[in-house]
Amino acid sequence: MKKFPEGQSGERSGAYEIRIKGRVSETFHGAFEDLTVTLNPVETVLRGSGLDQAALYGVLARIQSLGFELIEVRKLPPPPEEEEEGA
């Protein structure tokens, strides 16, 4: 999965949180190696930063091809220091 600094890919990169129904087994963690995987009792949460739109769509395609049920995709707000720099 490619990660680009802001502006290099033509799309703004950001941090995302993706929720999948159920617990993804360790066998499938390799499919999401660039993301942080958190196992909760009823869902798996994937988090990644520096993802552009192409990388995000790649993760979503992987989720679909593996047969997982997508619950939510959420763009996370930038850290406070990034907000101040852009102002």
pLDDT digits (tens, 9 = 90+) for 19-76: 999 999 888 888 998 899 999 999 999 999 989 999 999 999 999 999 999 999 999 9
Tally of structural domains, the chain = 1
Asked whether residue 82 is domain-assigned, the answer is: no
Asked whether residue 72 is domain-assigned, the answer is: yes
Asked whether residue 9 is domain-assigned, the answer is: no
pTM score: 0.76
Asked whether residue 84 is domain-assigned, the answer is: no
The strand pairing partners of 42, in sequence order, are none
Long-range contacts, stretch 26-32, CB < 8 angstroms, 24+ apart: 28/66, 31/62, 31/66, 32/59, 32/62
For residue 57, the domain's CATH number is 3.30.70
Asked whether residue 87 is domain-assigned, the answer is: no
Residue 9 banded pLDDT, cuts 50, 70, 90: very low
